[in-house]
Amino acid sequence: MTGKLWTALTLTACLLALIEGNGARSAAALMDSGTAAVNMTLELMGSMALWGGLMEQLHASGDIVRLGRWIRRAMQPIFPGVKDDEAWSAMGMNAAANLFGLGNAATPSGIRAAQLLARHGEEGLRALALMLALNNAGFQLMPTTVIAMRAAAGSAHPADIWLPTLACSGVAAAVAAALMLLTDRRK
C-alpha cells in the first residue's frame, strides 16, 4: 500500500510540474538530489566503517567485556531480575553502541538480547520492555551518525548539536525508565 501511495504522489508531482512548465527544473532537481544522496551515503559509509571497526576491535580485544561489566553495574538497579550473563553481555553491547550513536551496530546485539530475555518468562519480558523503552528514548553520549550527516550536508559546525542531544536524550531516557518502572510496580 505504501508503494502505491508514493507512486501516486510522485506521478502527481511530475504531472503538476509539467502542467506548470517546470519539467526541466524538476528533472534537474531530481538528478541533483540523486547525486547528493549518493555522496551523503559514501560519506556516511566512512563514519559507519570507522565506528563499526572500533566496536569490532573492542570485541576482539576483550575490552567490550570490560565495558559490558561497567554498563551492567550501572544498569543492574533498573534490571534487577536479569541474571543471565549472556543476556547482560548482549544488553551491554547494545547499550554501548547506542551510547556512541551507532544504531546500526546496536541492532544485532539488541536482537540477541531480546531473544535471550524472552526465554526468561515474565521477568525477562519486563526487562525486554524496559530495554526497548530505553533504546527508543535514544540516549547518546556522542551522536556520531547525526554529526556525520550534518558534516556530509555541509554544516559549518556539525557537532553543535552535541549538548542539546545529550540533554534531550538524557531526559527522554530518564522519563522512559521512570514510566516503565512505575508501570511495573503498579502490577
Q: List the domain boundaries for the chain.
A: 63-187
Label residue 88 by pLDDT band (50, 70, 90).
Answer: confident
Which pLDDT score, from 0 to 100, does residue 102 have? 73
For residue 75, how many C-alpha atoms fall within 13 Å in the half-sphere facing its CB? 26
What is the SS3 assignment for the chain?
CHHHHHHHHHHHHHHHHHHCCCHHHHHHHHHHHHHHHHHHHHHHHHHHHHHHHHHHHHHHHCHHHHHHHHHHHHHHHHCCCCCCHHHHHHHHHHHHHHHCCCHHHHHHHHHHHHHHHHCCHHHHHHHHHHHHHHHHHCCCCCCHHHHHHHHHCCCCCHHHHHHHHHHHHHHHHHHHHHHHHHHHHHC
Q: Is the pLDDT of residue 187 over 60?
A: no
| Other CB atoms within 10 A of residue 144 CB | 19
Distance CA 23, CA 115 (A): 51
Average the pLDDT over 126-134 and give the result. 87
The grid coordinates listed for 67 are 565495558
Label residue 175 by pLDDT band (50, 70, 90).
Answer: very high
Closest listed residue to residue 82, CA positions, set 119, 127, 129: 127
Label residue 122 by pLDDT band (50, 70, 90).
Answer: confident
Average the pLDDT over 106-125 and give the result. 88
Distance CA 165, CA 66 (A): 26
Distance CA 80, CA 92 (A): 15
Label residue 135 by pLDDT band (50, 70, 90).
Answer: confident
Average the pLDDT over 97-124 and give the result. 83
The per-residue pLDDT of the chain, averaged, comes to: 83
Label residue 116 by pLDDT band (50, 70, 90).
Answer: very high
The single-letter code of the amino acid at 128 is L
Distance CA 144, CA 105 (A): 12
Closest listed residue to residue 143, CA positions, set 185, 100, 111: 100
